[in-house]
Structure 1
Amino acid sequence: MLETGVHATIGQIAAAERINPSYASRVLRLTLLAPDIVEAILDGRQGQEITLDRQLWPFPVEWGGQHSCPS
């Protein structure tokens, strides 16, 4: 929605989706996950410790650092 210009801010997305702007911001951060982590999640190969709740916690933006942070 941001890329296509439908909405210009996270606040607008949150309002349109009827969710809290803070939650929308945390979910949007998931787009920064390393591609191999995303593939593991989509393939069901992630460990049991990889949950949505855990992934909404702050994590490094650098892909290499995501592998060393506790998940």
Structure 2
Amino acid sequence: MTVHLPFRLVKRGGRKEMQMPDGTSGQHKTDNILVKALARASRWKRMLESGEFTTIAELAEREGIAPSYMTRVLRLTLLAPDIVEGILDGTQGPDVTLARVLGLVPMEWTKQVALFRRN
């Protein structure tokens, strides 16, 4: 007996993952790299808003990372709630990767959702 399963391999966060075709139900898998980045962004935003740190450069120095990277990660706090929810419950889709969300993403939530649904 031979069983054929249609799937493709995609890279997510530096590792390969099986992706099932559209319309098939599969187990949702949370992308821990994205979840960790969201948590860091939220924590850093709270630290800046509370006045614990006055500048991104000051906070980045304390965290031991480049200010430019911190700025890109902080943009995650501006993601549409639908996208954040998808990331947290593992239904974000294969095109929502850390590299992609750290890139140039529109500020308007409707445009963000359209961008990540289109691809």
Aligning the two structures, in what range does the TM-score lie when normalised by the shorter sequence?
over 0.9
**How many angstroms does 1:69 deviate by?**
2.1
- Unaligned 5+ runs, structure 1: none
Aligned-partner Cα distance in 1 for 2:106–2:86: 18
State the structure with bigger RCO (CA 8 A, min sep 6), 1 or 2: 2
More strand by share: 2
The residue identity in structure 2 corresponding to 1:62 is E
Aligned-partner Cα distance in 2 for 1:50–1:19: 24
Between Structure 1 and Structure 2, how many residues are aligned? 71
Output the TM-score relative to the length of structure 2. Answer: 0.57
- When the two chains are superposed, the root-mean-square deviation of aligned CA atoms in Å is 1.2
- Unaligned 5+ runs, structure 2: 1-46
How does 1:1-71 map onto structure 2 within 5 Å? 1-70=47-116
Q: Say which SS state the counterpart of residue 95 (structure 2) adopts.
A: coil
